[in-house]
Amino acid sequence: MTEAEQPQLYLITPPELELSRFPDQLAQVLDAHEVACVRLALASQDEDRIARAADACREVTHARDVALVIDTHLMLVERLGLDGVHLTDGARSVRAARKELGADAIVGSFCGTSRHEGMNAGESGADYISFGPLGASGLGDGSRADHDLFDWWSQMIELPVVAEGHLDAQIIRTLAPVTDFFGIGEEIWRAEDPAAALGALITAMQ
């Protein structure tokens, strides 16, 4: 990515959705800002609940020509009319997902802080790699994806990279020159006005 280019936005839904409210919130955010992709990332394993959330979000995203992918649930992609899957186990499932969904579907891979896992996922057919978290987190072993990882990736690897997990304005300002996408979720959905909260983070990229 050249320094003149600004990273694109990749929205991540909250783990719990209030279907009476969230689709309208999502629509307001998408109408206010240019977003490349939305990821349905529910904590629930209930297929009926996932399907209803996917239907509601797809109606909003596809009306605005925004791709909608689902976290982990590979077998639901075609059934729910989604654009692809975001895998959370590094390179392990990428090849199988690509074979299952075909060449046109989006297949992304979260690789934590491992450039080796990221390269393997890319070689297996991933469309993008995601690294994180960036800020303080109780997840995993507490390790963070640092600036050096993104700097190295942006110089050595052509595959797009997403920075996600506990972002703030300072982290975004620092990483903007070396990442292709920012994966933004709870950072804005907890705010009273998610569209305004996203606008503040976009300002930090500039």
Residue pLDDT tens, the chain, 206 long: 344 589 999 999 999 999 999 999 999 999 999 999 999 999 999 999 999 999 999 999 999 999 999 999 999 999 999 999 999 999 999 999 999 999 999 999 999 999 999 999 999 999 999 999 998 765 556 789 999 999 999 999 999 999 999 999 999 999 999 999 999 999 999 999 999 999 999 999 98
Determine the 3-state secondary structure of 149 from DSSP: helix
Q: What is the dihedral of CA 169, 19, 71, 32, to 10 degrees?
A: -40
**Sequence spans of domains, the chain:** 8-205
**Token code pair at residue 13:** 């839904």
Place of tokens 């070396």: 178
Q: What six digits make up the tokens of 195?
A: 């569209």
CATH number attached to the domain at 8-205: 3.20.20.70
**DSSP 8-state symbol, 178:** G
Asked if residue 86 lies in contact with residue 71, where contact means CB atoms within 8 angstroms, the answer is yes
Q: Report pTM.
A: 0.95
The HSE-up count of residue 7 (CA atoms within 13 Å, CB side) is 29
Task: Tokens for 141, please give them.
Answer: 């072993």
